[in-house]
Amino acid sequence: MDEMKLPLELLSAGLSIIIVIAIFIKVFQYKQKLDVLKEMDRRKDMLKLTKEDKEYIDLNLKEYSEKLVKVEGLTRLLFPIFITIGAILFLLFSFEETLIHLNVIIVAYIYLQIHRIHTRNYTKFLEELSK
């Protein structure tokens, strides 16, 4: 029986699209979290922070500080891996095919950087609120 083969380029493009969608979701979630912190910052300026708000800030600050360390480590770990995968792609495929597959690596790297930046900014904002 003849099985239908899924072209590798189609799989690569589909994976890139999924990662781009994940980037948009990440940005949307970040905006929502940032709106909550902006509201708390407004309350802090008016000296109306409740005990629950302070607990929320302290809990999230601890959580995001730990998360920041993990994200920074993951970024440092994956960067050389992405470079190695890119080099292997250049060895295995022609230049045109390699560019198609490199798209996934580039989009994944962008996602990782956005995640790192959002985590760092959120942590800094929480630190400002906790003062």
Output the pTM of the full model: 0.82
Residue 123 lies in a domain: yes
d(CA 1, CA 66): 53
Is 64 part of any domain? Answer: yes
Which domain does 99 fall in, by range? 49-131
CA pseudo-torsion sign 61, 67, 73, 78:
negative
Question: Residue 91: what pLDDT?
Answer: 94
Spatial separation of the C-alpha atoms in residues 95 and 109, rounded to whole Å? 20
Residues 108, 12: Cα–Cα separation, whole Å: 12
Backbone angles phi, psi at 108, to 5 degrees: -65, -40
Residue 114 neighbours by CB distance under 10 Å: 15
Kindly state whether residue 100 falls inside one of the protein's structural domains.
yes
pLDDT given at position 4: 55
Asked if residue 22 is part of any domain, the answer here is: no
pLDDT at 1: 43
**Domain membership flag for residue 25:** no
Domain count, the chain: 1
d(CA 131, CA 113): 27
pLDDT per residue rounded down to tens, the chain (131 residues): 445 556 888 888 899 999 999 999 999 999 998 998 888 888 888 877 788 888 888 898 999 999 999 999 999 999 999 999 999 999 998 898 888 889 999 999 999 999 999 999 999 998 988 87
Q: Is residue 121 part of a domain?
A: yes
- Asked whether residue 73 is assigned to any structural domain, the reply reads yes
